[in-house]
Structure 1
Amino acid sequence: MSTLTSSIVNIALPVMSRAMSVPTSQITWVASSYLIVTCMFLLPFGKMGDLFGKARVFKIGTIIFTIASLLCGFNLGFFWILSMRAIQALGASMTLSTNAGIITETFTKEQRGLALGSFGSVVALGSIAGPGLGGLILTYLPWNYIFWVNVPVGLIAIILGQIVLPKAKNKSEGKVDTLGMLVLILTAGSLFMGLILGQQLGFMSLIFLSLMIMTIILLFGFIYLEKRAPNPVINFHLFNNVDFSLSLLATILVYGINFVVNIIEPIYLEQNRLISTDLAGLILISFPIIQIIVSPFAGWLSDKFGSHFIAAISLAMLIISQAGLATVNHTTSLGILCVWLGFVGLGNGLFQAPTNVLVMNSVTKDQLGIASGLLGFSRNTGMTIGAIFANILLFSGISMNLGHSTIDYPVAQPSAFIFGMRFTFWITAAVLLGLFIAQLTVNFRRKNA
């Protein structure tokens, strides 16, 4: 539900804009506010899960999310729905920051790959099911039902949670680092608000630059406070573990590159190849479906052959996918394009389980909540940065080919778009190659230590 509601809302924004008599530039904040608030609270609630019990935080989050989903469906004005979306995101952040920790505690090390791989499938399913389910709902029902669809599922989850999840005991040891949590919330809020406004207003705008400066100041302030706190929100010694740090970096980069593919390929299919929207949708939905199928199998492989080995293979598959997409032009057959997109899905499916296992196995039991929160934060950071760099790289390439700066699709010179698209995918392939080399280097040093 948490990932579904991120993607399902986007398709309903034009309908909601008309129903509320709100301009398009404002209605997009219904989607953006959910992302910002979720990212602001992922890490604090991960820490709260470690202190007071992950199951307890998860259960409360499910209740908040379900109630807010019900209230989001009432058309009481633009500011009402923004407020309810913020509360909905608060509940979502409580579940997203604890779910991987609960799974890790529940399963043995020999079973975690399959468990976390299955979890990755559900996350992917929520993301890809949103547009299709949203379109189906809007065909027959008012827009309110895109939120109300969460309610019956939420009620079932609340009941099952009471029956299945363990009774949480108060685990609190020491004082909660309230000031550290507040500064962390403000840091994440400033970062994501800046990134979103930067896309809308430009990355040289005063608002964007001010928010980035504020983010840096807050980040340094947070580090200063945490190094002196008796019970810090984030123990920075966690990042001394190479598996932990490299896996989080890999999560940011891979999710970012996925968003690059998600943004550029629809433009290529619909504007360059003039393919109908429904056929383009069928082509683009193929690689997430492969990811959903492969993820649990990758978890089993990770349990059997080791997470480092499967993670390296996943990066190799993703490098092939990006290099393949970098060879595509306006005459490439759709079959060949689907092969390269299939490698995207295969690489992603193989990536999720071993990476999650490497992160969660790198921390002690009392740090599972914050590790789970950092995984969720890395995913959202990657998606946001990917959306930004997709446009920056694409239009930089187009501008180089045209010989002048542009931010529009070059209708008169479609070959310039092909150049920009190829330029972008060669860059993403190079980034993944650097990550792959880093992974191999770490594995080599570990074996020879």
Structure 2
Amino acid sequence: MQRFATGSKRWWLLIALGFFAFMTNLDGSIVNIAIPIMAKNLDVSASRMEWTVSLYLIVLSALLLPFGKLGDRIGKRRIFKWGTGTFVVGSLMAGINLGFNFLMVGRMVQAIGGAMTLANTYGIVISTFALAERGRAMGVVSTFVALGGVAGPSLGGLILAHFSWPMIFLINVPIGVVALGISLWSMDNGEPQPGTYDKWGMLLQATAIASGFWGLNLAQQSGFGDPVVLATFALAIISLAAFLIFENHQETPLLPMSIFRVRIFTLGVLTVFFIFMVQFFSTVLMPFYLEDARGLTPGAAGTLLSLYPLMMVFFAPFGGWLADKWQVPAVALLGSLLIAAGSIVGAFLKLDAPLMVYIISTLLIGIGSGLFQSPIGDVVMSVVPKDQLGIAGSFNALARNLGMVSGTAVATTVLFGTMSQLAGSRVTTYPTNHPEYFITGLQIAMLVAAGLALLGAIAIGLTIKPWQVHEKN
């Protein structure tokens, strides 16, 4: 029988996990708001500076599965502690301001450390907390994860209002050092497991993920019909196919295909992908609506945008509490349905609509996201064998990152594609002379988001009966 941690150390461990879950997700979005300032300061184009964001997400996503597998091999806590130190060093390098190239190296080091921590966070929670406390523990970590994903623009703006851009990275250093100290004090290294490491599998999946993300990034600039974009997607598909074939013939594969025979796990990560796509529709589109379409000041828009993360913070612990008391997938289903409802309300936004329409939409999406975060982690992680917790956690994190990137790409494609069709020519920015084009694009995008949220709700709904069997066993 598995033995779980007792005493206060496990809660300190949870704080360290939460800090790094927040920082590693935050650093995927916080740089966006500083790109114009950084580009001017470092004398590079804004489009080139965008790669500081893209490179971080590509490296982070490509290394999640390898570090999850390595955590299963040599200890999830050991890899997490190495990752905390690596992330702090990368943050320091990125904030020193020694030029664009050194900044990019720092971002790569940050991403490596971030992948080491994120890949093993949920596995550590599952192996540390007994079932009676797991919902609350998942609620804490999931709140930090979600906040990191959506708080970047508002927190970045606050930092830039008082400091120069390097502080966006340097603020991680003291927080990271404290979290590293807590990690060293509260965690052992875990038990190493025998086995070999699948180097070819690691290379193939990294190529598939990196080329796929790169293709999405290029497509937003050049369009999906561009030959370079098509070639990049072709490389991603070929690499993915080769990876799946290769893994089926490995004795110790990087990603055991048997894990997808666990129906609850497969449907759970599919739900994660859909719901994180939807969350990033709002993150990407609503600043345009409030500032450009409605003409609000950045301060007023920022206040309204903060409703989303605030609702998430307040309701994620409640979702964890409900998950401990009620059927876990049912709580995630409730959250998914609220997100779908909020997206439908968002489809009624207009130039002259009362701001209450935006507020109701945001409240529903924020509350739904908060309720969703805690139980979905429990659904995904509680049904896999103990020796696969690392790879399960890293695949869950990968599904989350894929959802974020795909949500951004699909939201902007629907928005600008609709505006371009209405204008009869390619539109790449807010159409000041024809705001009605933007409103139509926004409404269609929010309906697409609602459809994706309902797909997520269907997927998680299909786990309710299997979960009942799992609980009995």
Same fold (TM over 0.5): yes
SS class of match (1:97) = helix
Q: Which residue of the other structure, out of 194, 207, 219, is the alignment partner of 1:198?
A: 219
Cα offsets for 1:296-324 (capped at 9, x unmatched): 11011011101121111112111211111
Cα offsets for 1:136-170 (capped at 9, x unmatched): 43333332222111111121122111110123332
Question: Alpha carbons of 1:143 and 1:343: their partners in 2 closer, same or farther (altered >3 Å)?
Answer: same
Q: Which residue of the other structure, out of 73, 83, 86, is the alignment partner of 1:64?
A: 86
My pick for the range that moved more, 414-423 or 286-295, is 414-423
Specify the alignment match of 1:94 in structure 2.
116
1:212 aligns with 2:194: no
Specify the alignment match of 2:400 in structure 1.
379
Q: Is the 8 A contact 1:401 1:419 kept in 2?
A: no
Specify the alignment match of 1:161 in structure 2.
183
Note the residue ranges of structure 2 that are not aligned, 5 or more in a row.
1-22
Cα offsets for 1:389-443 (capped at 9, x unmatched): 1122123433555566644433333223222222222222223223333443553
Question: Alpha carbons of 1:14 and 1:66: their partners in 2 closer, same or farther (altered >3 Å)?
Answer: same
Q: Which residue of the other structure, out of 321, 325, 330, is the alignment partner of 1:309?
A: 330
**Distance in 2 (alpha carbons) for counterparts of 1:404 and 1:69:** 42
Specify the alignment match of 1:260 in structure 2.
281
**Distance in 2 (alpha carbons) for counterparts of 1:48 and 1:399:** 46
SS class of match (2:164) = coil
Q: Let me know the Cα RMSD of the aligned residues.
A: 2.0
Question: Alpha carbons of 1:71 and 1:404: their partners in 2 closer, same or farther (altered >3 Å)?
Answer: closer
**1:321-400 correspondence to structure 2 within 5 Å:** 321-399=342-420
SS class of match (2:251) = coil
Specify the alignment match of 2:42 in structure 1.
20
State the Cα distance separating 1:348 from its structure 2 match: 0.4
Question: Alpha carbons of 1:332 and 1:102: their partners in 2 closer, same or farther (altered >3 Å)?
Answer: same
Code of the residue aligned with 2:287 in structure 1: it is P
**Distance in 2 (alpha carbons) for counterparts of 1:93 and 1:446:** 29
**Distance in 2 (alpha carbons) for counterparts of 1:429 and 1:125:** 21
**Distance in 1 (alpha carbons) for counterparts of 2:100 and 2:346:** 41
Code of the residue aligned with 1:105 in structure 2: it is S
Specify the alignment match of 1:10 in structure 2.
32
My pick for the range that moved more, 186-195 or 376-385, is 186-195
**Distance in 2 (alpha carbons) for counterparts of 1:442 and 1:254:** 16
SS class of match (2:47) = helix
Q: Is the 8 A contact 1:287 1:344 kept in 2?
A: yes
1:78 aligns with 2:91: no
Q: Which residue of the other structure, out of 396, 409, 416, is the alignment partner of 2:430?
A: 409
SS class of match (2:353) = coil
Specify the alignment match of 1:110 in structure 2.
132
Q: Is the 8 A contact 1:401 1:420 kept in 2?
A: no
Q: Identity over aligned residues, as a percent?
A: 35
Q: Is the 8 A contact 1:397 1:424 kept in 2?
A: no
SS class of match (1:2) = helix
State the Cα distance separating 1:278 from its structure 2 match: 1.3
**Distance in 1 (alpha carbons) for counterparts of 2:90 and 2:468:** 50
Q: Which residue of the other structure, out of 436, 457, 467, is the alignment partner of 1:436?
A: 457
**Distance in 2 (alpha carbons) for counterparts of 1:405 and 1:19:** 31
**Distance in 1 (alpha carbons) for counterparts of 2:251 and 2:177:** 39
Q: Is the 8 A contact 2:154 2:306 kept in 1?
A: no
- For these two proteins, the number of residue pairs brought into alignment is 448
Question: Alpha carbons of 1:417 and 1:210: their partners in 2 closer, same or farther (altered >3 Å)?
Answer: same
Specify the alignment match of 1:222 in structure 2.
243
**1:288-303 correspondence to structure 2 within 5 Å:** 288-303=309-324
Q: Is the 8 A contact 2:59 2:112 kept in 1?
A: yes
Q: Is the 8 A contact 2:336 2:372 kept in 1?
A: yes
Cα offsets for 1:10-62 (capped at 9, x unmatched): 22222221221111111111111111110110110000000110000000011
**Distance in 2 (alpha carbons) for counterparts of 1:64 and 1:55:** 14
Question: Alpha carbons of 1:250 and 1:426: their partners in 2 closer, same or farther (altered >3 Å)?
Answer: same
TM-score for both structures, normalised by structure 2: 0.90
Q: Is the 8 A contact 1:120 1:292 kept in 2?
A: no
Specify the alignment match of 1:30 in structure 2.
52
Q: Is the 8 A contact 1:43 1:373 kept in 2?
A: yes
Q: Is the 8 A contact 1:12 1:138 kept in 2?
A: yes
Cα offsets for 1:84-109 (capped at 9, x unmatched): 21011101100010111101110112
1:121 aligns with 2:138: no
Specify the alignment match of 1:251 in structure 2.
272
Cα offsets for 1:155-190 (capped at 9, x unmatched): 11221111101233322x121112111222222111
TM-score for both structures, normalised by structure 1: 0.94
State the Cα distance separating 1:201 from its structure 2 match: 2.3
Specify the alignment match of 2:161 in structure 1.
139
SS class of match (1:49) = helix
SS class of match (1:110) = helix
**Distance in 1 (alpha carbons) for counterparts of 2:266 and 2:32:** 32
**Distance in 1 (alpha carbons) for counterparts of 2:151 and 2:333:** 29
Cα offsets for 1:261-299 (capped at 9, x unmatched): 112211111222112121111111101110111111101
Q: Is the 8 A contact 1:101 1:369 kept in 2?
A: yes
**Distance in 2 (alpha carbons) for counterparts of 1:210 and 1:308:** 40
My pick for the range that moved more, 271-280 or 393-402, is 393-402
State the Cα distance separating 1:237 from its structure 2 match: 1.5
Question: Alpha carbons of 1:273 and 1:67: their partners in 2 closer, same or farther (altered >3 Å)?
Answer: same
**Distance in 2 (alpha carbons) for counterparts of 1:438 and 1:135:** 37
Note the residue ranges of structure 1 that are not aligned, 5 or more in a row.
none
